[in-house]
Amino acid sequence: MKCIFFSTLFLLTISTISCLHENIHERIARQTSDFCRASCPKQMDNYTVLDSMVYNPSETTMSYYYSVSEKLDNDSVYNDIFINVFYTDLLNNLNDNIGLIELKKNNVHFRYIYYSSTSKKIYMNFMFKPEDYK
């Protein structure tokens, strides 16, 4: 019985110590991976699915990968006006999203990639740097 108790205590201590040594970027990567395993793919609207999220600590970049279907899976949709409006809306949402405060405090870059669910062709690829959203 004492052996089980001390083994459990040892494992809890080791896991606590390892969490204390995890830097912010390692934590973001781990939490992103955990979220993705639990929630992706995630239907965002009738035509858009969040397929995955990936955090790259060495580039401090959070990448969101969205596949589009039906009406949005068509080259003709992605004209300059549509892309400019979409870019502006994404940036406004990034600025207003209080759930990303910690990431923004740590100067994370945000990449949004929208691609065809059928051909995998990339329709839009936006990168927002700290100077864009601060």
Prediction pTM value: 0.82
Helix (H, G, I), strand (E, B) or coil at 80: helix
Helix (H) or strand (E) holding 65: strand 61-68
pLDDT in tens, 35-88: 999 999 999 999 999 999 999 999 999 999 999 999 999 999 999 999 999 999
CATH class of 24-133: alpha beta
Dist. CA 8–CA 97, nearest whole Å: 40
